[in-house]
């Protein structure tokens, strides 16, 4: 039996785009969510070698520091022809300045240098972790597959959204309203984005009435 999320919850991210999505995902459940930034929590070093390990590091650090349950996401874009890069280094490819135009240009450059044939397949992955101050944890994962398109399309979303065209759709994540990207369908069918898919599993286990 998974443990239920009750009372106040820290959203352990320092990424404004993610925070927005995580707040929107939690909103229907009436969770009293406060961000790591609002609490002035430090950003832990992401020393894990997997998405799940890094999500746990972030959730556990925030749960300990705030003495509250904490919810973290570790996510990234994995490009098949680049052996899964940037993967867990997705944020780091954008450098200290968080320059995602440069990170997207690097992906295109490396695909061309590798002589990779199109379509350029890729997936986004999101590992979600919830940690409680007593050490209990819950973990969930979601993924969405698609093609990469250049030049980048659309100015909505964040990070690598403008180059990611999810399978079966004509718009990149950068061209979608946030609700299209991560809405949780009321009829129980599968959500679109990696983060929303992971959240569906989390909600079923830890939030459902
Ligand atoms: P926190 O660790 O504070 O949560 P971060 O930006 O460092 O923020 P990650 O280490 O998980 O987060 O890095 C994931 C990067 O992958 C993130 O910075 C985005 O650029 C990219 N990414 C993840 N989900 C994405 C999405 O839905 N759309 C576009 N890019 C995404």
pLDDT tens string 144-183: 999 999 999 999 999 999 999 999 999 999 999 988 999 8
Q: What is the pLDDT of residue 62?
A: 98
pLDDT tens for residues 118-138? Answer: 999 999 999 999 999 999 999
* Ligand 1 proximity of 91 Cβ (cutoff 6 Å): yes
- Enumerate the domain spans of the chain: 8-207
Nearest-angstrom CA–CA distance, 158 and 173? 9
Alpha carbon of 158 to ligand 1 centroid (Å): 8
* Ligand 1 proximity of 160 Cβ (cutoff 6 Å): yes
To the question of pTM greater than 0.85 for the whole model, the response is yes
Q: Any residues with CB less than 8 A from the CB of 141 and at least 6 apart, and which?
A: 51, 52, 125, 126, 127, 128, 198, 201
74 is catalytic: yes
Q: What is the pLDDT of residue 173?
A: 98
Q: What is the pLDDT of residue 97?
A: 95
Low-confidence ranges of the chain (pLDDT < 50): none
Q: What is the pLDDT of residue 77?
A: 98
Nearest CA to ligand 1 atom 20: 159
In ligand 1, the atom with minimum distance to the C-alpha of 55 is: 11
Spelled out in words, what is the top-level CATH class assigned to the domain 8-207?
alpha beta
Q: What is the pLDDT of residue 142?
A: 98
Residue 45 phi, psi (nearest 5): -75, 135
Calculate the alpha carbon distances from 87 to 92, 107, 127 in Å: 10, 12, 12
Q: What is the pLDDT of residue 137?
A: 98
Q: With pLDDT > 70 as the criterion, what percentage of the chain qualifies?
A: 100
Q: What is the pLDDT of residue 88?
A: 98
Q: What is the pLDDT of residue 208?
A: 74
Q: What is the pLDDT of residue 188?
A: 87
């Amino acid at each position: 039996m998974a443990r239920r999320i009750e009372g106040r919850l820290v959203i352990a991210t320092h990424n404004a785009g993610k925070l927005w999505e995580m707040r929107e995902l939690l909103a229907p459940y009436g969770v009293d969510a406060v961000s790591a930034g609002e609490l002035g929590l430090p950003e832990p070093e992401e020393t894990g070698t997997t998405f799940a390990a890094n999500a746990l590091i972030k959730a556990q650090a925030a749960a300990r520091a705030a003495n509250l349950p904490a919810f973290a996401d570790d996510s990234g874009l994995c490009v098949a022809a680049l052996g899964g890069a940037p993967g867990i280094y997705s944020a780091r490819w954008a450098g200290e300045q968080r320059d995602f135009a440069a990170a997207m240009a690097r992906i295109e450059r490396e695909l061309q240098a590798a002589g990779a044939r199109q379509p350029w397949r890729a997936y986004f992955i999101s590992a979600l972790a919830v940690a409680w101050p007593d050490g209990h944890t819950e973990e969930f994962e979601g993924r969405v597959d698609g093609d990469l398109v250049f030049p980048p399309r659309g100015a909505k979303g964040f990070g690598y959204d403008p180059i990611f065209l999810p399978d079966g759709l004509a718009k990149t994540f950068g061209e979608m309203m946030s609700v299209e990207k991560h809405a949780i369908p009321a009829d129980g069918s599968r959500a679109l984005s990696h983060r929303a898919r992971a959240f569906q599993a989390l909600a079923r286990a830890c939030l459902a009435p």
